[in-house]
Amino acid sequence: MYYKSTRDSSVCVSSAQAIAQGISKDGGLFVPSELPKLKLEEIISLGDKTYPERAAFIFSKFLTDFTEAEIRYCTDNAYTDKAFDTENICEIAHLFDGTYMLELWHGPTCAFKDMALQILPYLITTSAKKINLDKKVVILVATSGDTGKAALEGFKDVEGTEIMVFYPDDGVSAMQKKQMTTQEGENVGVCAIKGNFDDAQNGVKAIFTDESVVDALSQSGKMFSSANSINWGRLAPQIIYYVSSYAQLVKDGEINAGDKINIVVPTGNFGNILAAYYAKQMGVPVNKLICASNSNNVLTDFLQTGVYDRNRKFYTTISPSMDILISSNLERLLYHLSGDNDKLIREWFESLKQTGRYEVTADVFEKIKNDFCAGYCNDDETKDLIKRVFDKYSYLCDTHTAVAVKVYEDYVEKTGDKTKTLIASTANPYKFSSSVLSALGEYDENLDEFELVEKLNQVSKMSVPKSLAELKDKQVRFTQIIDKDDMKEFVLSALA
Ligand SMILES: *Cc1c(COP(=O)(O)O)cnc(C)c1O
């Protein structure tokens, strides 16, 4: 197994190279040269294994240049009940008959990003060793909230790494700010910038490609890598929980071996749903992949028309991790569906850059329609769904998960499809306490972020995740706020 670039099919690197490097030099994303096929019996037999064992099995198909011991080192260090609040690492809850919630938020930061970011540091450091990169790996992250904290928790005190996170001072929730500014670990840095998320993101991108910074870092024995979902090392771990869940549903007697299921995913960058697509291609019996968006519905339109057009209003919603108009991982899907046609991909993504729009060929669109359905809902519908589901099933959804459940409801109403369905639940509702309380009609503007958590606990009786409750008494370690133009100097003085 080797990895190609979506923008140059002649690129051919090992998984270690793809993971350490993050993105191909031509700007393309690394994709596996072929997808490993699993037999149904192999999938089912995972039901008797622990999560780290299931993970090691799937990784062994993709990271063929890693030894078994190297893979086990990564999976056994990442997926522990020290970091996750359940030995199962993720849980499957029953919403109603034949509808299952795949809870991916049992990790240290209460969002699904932990599923990949807990293991990525081990994958990156192991990869760096394998290709004899004798350098310390420096991770730079610009975040609008969830990714930054998950990356900090993942890389904290991992030998051979350092991490620096920039967030927009006015652009994250009070809880998210508290999560980041109290971060523990000897190799971490957190800095607020005066500006918005785009300023932070542009600043980080500029530093990544600034030769003077790269040289200075290199002289101190360090190099940059990426913890963002363009890195294959973030996508591969996400395939695991879809394969694993199928095995679990069979083991629990919820479905018969070979039965098809639908998978619904609340989507932003198209990473999590692409992982479900890969699981299907590998042999997991899947009927439809249902892509759920909020008011930033660029993907809904694309999957329904074959035209991607980002020239539209940008909405700030109550599901902020899905407020995205450029879904980077779609490039990987289109590469596969076009028959590895790097020329077409270059054309489309150049057009996206120049005009904000591209249209796929009829042949590719046909294939998209076979696998995918799509829908979206706005903030009012999201809140209404949270309240209805809580009242009816006593199940509390966060704002992102609620988008998925609502889109699924609409799908069933429209199609009458009775296929059993797995819905990706991507965040713990306590992470978005104010929006969830407001949905339940219980929001009180006089309460601070921790009082809101207490209030939600009284209303819902759902237990508060320890990692959020503990924040209240944690010391704030990082208070620096800098101008967006000073990011480069900041990185140089902190790291080089
Ligand atoms: C990141 C995120 C998403 C979107 O996932 P993608 O892989 O970007 O599609 C959805 N929900 C939550 C809570 C997230 O943090």
Nearest atom in ligand 1 to the alpha carbon of residue 400 is 11
pLDDT in tens, 110-129: 999 999 999 999 999 999 99
**CA–centroid distance, residue 213 to ligand 1 (Å):** 31
**CA–centroid distance, residue 423 to ligand 1 (Å):** 13
Mutate to test the pocket of ligand 1, among 112, 239, 406 (most ligand atoms within 8 A of CB): 112
pLDDT interval class at 325 (50, 70, 90): confident
Going by alpha carbons, the residue nearest to atom 1 of ligand 1 is 321
Q: Average pLDDT in the 65-73 region? A: 98
Going by alpha carbons, the residue nearest to atom 14 of ligand 1 is 321
**CA–centroid distance, residue 322 to ligand 1 (Å):** 6
For 198-258, the DSSP string reads HHHHHHHHHHHT-HHHHHHHHHTTEEEE--STTSHHHHHHHHHHHHHHHHHHHHTTSS-TT
**CA–centroid distance, residue 218 to ligand 1 (Å):** 33
Predicted local confidence at residue 255, as pLDDT:
98
Q: Is the pLDDT of residue 145 over 80?
A: no
- Output 68-75 pairs: Cβ under 8 A, ≥24 positions apart: 70/126, 70/130, 73/122, 73/126, 74/119, 74/122, 74/123, 74/126, 75/119
**CA–centroid distance, residue 147 to ligand 1 (Å):** 9
Nearest atom in ligand 1 to the alpha carbon of residue 401 is 11
- Beta-bridge partners for 190: 165
Nearest atom in ligand 1 to the alpha carbon of residue 324 is 8
Mutate to test the pocket of ligand 1, among 173, 272, 294 (most ligand atoms within 8 A of CB): 272
pLDDT in tens, 186-223: 999 999 999 887 788 888 888 988 899 999 999 999 99
**CA–centroid distance, residue 228 to ligand 1 (Å):** 12
**CA–centroid distance, residue 214 to ligand 1 (Å):** 30
Residue 489 tokens, joined: 């100097």
pLDDT in tens, 33-60: 999 999 999 999 999 999 999 999 999 9
Predicted local confidence at residue 406, as pLDDT:
98
**CA–centroid distance, residue 234 to ligand 1 (Å):** 12
Q: Closest by alpha carbon to 265, among 291, 233, 235, 293?
A: 291
Going by alpha carbons, the residue nearest to atom 2 of ligand 1 is 321
Predicted local confidence at residue 230, as pLDDT:
85
Nearest atom in ligand 1 to the alpha carbon of residue 270 is 9
Mutate to test the pocket of ligand 1, among 143, 228, 239, 322 (most ligand atoms within 8 A of CB): 322
Share in percent of the chain as helix, strand, coil (round to 5): 50, 15, 35
Q: Which residues line ligand 1 (CB under 6 A)?
A: 111-113, 146, 229, 266-272, 321-322, 400, 426-427
pLDDT in tens, 8-19: 999 999 999 999
